[in-house]
């Protein structure tokens, strides 16, 4: 059996996961990545997307809107701005998040227009990935 590591997923509202996993697929702002046991230490920021934790007990999928992931040889911890199991996400919630991102883009100054455009695009892409 493959090596496992500890995976923790926490949002401001609750702890969503504290499980042993084989791998965690992370939607990083610089691209998707997979963390496994004995991974080189790394801290990265998250973009809106689907986080997939694969373990001996099966696969768990979560929607995250952003935050940070800390990867180490012993485990991966994700501190999400907002997170929920993929199965709990509704089309209405996603449409509300997309509307907020679009509104932020419309109100963005020249200095943060690129970041606001990326957030709006990432949120729309996540909506498609959720298959709602």
How distant, in Å, are the alpha carbons of 30, 44, 103, 109 from that of 26?
A: 11, 9, 26, 29
Average pLDDT over residues 39-65: 95
Closest by CA to 76, choosing from 51, 59, 57, is: 51
Residue 74 is predicted with a pLDDT of 84
pLDDT of 16:
96
**pLDDT tens profile 7-30:** 999 999 999 999 999 999 999 999
CATH classification number, 5-86, choose in 3.30.980.10, 2.150.10.10, 1.20.120.530, 2.60.15.10: 2.60.15.10
The answer, yes or no, to whether residue 1 has pLDDT greater than 50, is: no
pLDDT of amino acid 131: 87
Rounded to two decimals, the pTM is 0.90
| Cα–Cα distances in angstroms (integers) from residue 54 to residues 17, 42, 48, 69, in the given order | 12, 19, 19, 16
Q: What are the structural domain ranges in the chain?
A: 5-86, 90-130
75 sits in which H/E element: strand 75-80
pLDDT tens readout for residues 84-110: 999 999 999 999 999 999 999 999 998
């Amino acid at each position: 059996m493959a090596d496992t590591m500890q995976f923790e997923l926490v949002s401001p509202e609750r702890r969503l996961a504290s499980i042993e996993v084989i791998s965690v697929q992370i939607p990083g702002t610089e691209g998707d990545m997979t963390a496994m046991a004995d991974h080189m230490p790394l801290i990265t920021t998250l973009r809106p997307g689907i986080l997939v934790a694969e373990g001996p007990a099966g696969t768990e999928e979560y929607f995250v809107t952003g935050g940070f992931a800390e990867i180490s040889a012993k485990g991966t911890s994700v501190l999400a701005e907002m997170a929920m199991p993929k199965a709990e996400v509704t089309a209405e919630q996603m449409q509300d998040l997309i509307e907020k991102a679009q509104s932020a883009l419309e109100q963005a100054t020249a200095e943060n227009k690129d970041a606001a455009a990326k957030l709006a695009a990432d949120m729309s892409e996540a909506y498609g990935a959720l298959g709602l």
